[in-house]
Structure 1
């Protein structure tokens, strides 16, 4: 396993890349295509939304953008669990690592939102 980076922007970029690679492995079936579309949308969304948060117009806007990223990460987590449970890919155990990363990113965003809310009060 490669060394974890703590640059959130880089982590989110790498996360998006990993999501895209998972989507490419999904079957070209009605189910596979539905899940692929949803996962691609939610799983690549935190990266640009984090960029939007960095360019926020106000503390309230910053928190709002962080909340969108958090919401999308939670949705992605559900899609990944579904892919693993069905399973929709040949080696569902390979999703364990990205599920762990999803959980870590969720914790980072929860903490960031709490910190930003405290500063805003």
Structure 2
């Protein structure tokens, strides 16, 4: 099932979708197994919003709208990183989970930064 997304999609689209899947799965663990109800919901909202806004940007009718939607994704990625750090510092996620999520979100933030800068230069 995962391969159907890889072949057709661009890198940021794929990575943001896979990050959303990780966040949904982490939410289920935090909410149901680790009994963390509030922070996990915040992360679920911001973490899945990254990819949703990228999808909206890809479907944009103008370059301005595309940039705007990717800027929202960038903000949501930074917010997600905040919740990940907070969950780590409050011992809801362990070192391995934190480092893995940190690598994912930092990569997404770098990609979004690059895409936004490039789109602004070409507009």
1:44-92 Cα deviation digits (max 9, x unpaired): 0111111101111111101000000000000000000011111113x34
Q: Alignment partner of 1:46: what SS?
A: helix
Match of 1:103 in 2: 106
Alignment of 1:75 onto 2:93? no
State the partner residue of 2:45.
41
> Tell me, which stretches of 5 or more residues in structure 1 are unaligned?
none
The CA deviation at 1:24 is: 1.4
- Paired residue secondary structure (1:88): coil
| Partner residue in 1 for 2:120 | 117
Task: Tell me the number of residue pairs that the alignment of Structure 1 and Structure 2 aligns.
Answer: 112
2:11 corresponds to 1:7 = yes
SS of aligned partner of 2:60: coil
Q: CA RMSD in A?
A: 1.4
Whole-angstrom distance in 1 between the partners of 2:75 and 2:39:
17
The runs of at least 4 aligned residues of structure 1 exceeding 2 Å deviation read 5-8
Contact 1:70 1:109 in 2 (8 A): yes
**What's the TM-score, normalizing by structure 1?**
0.86
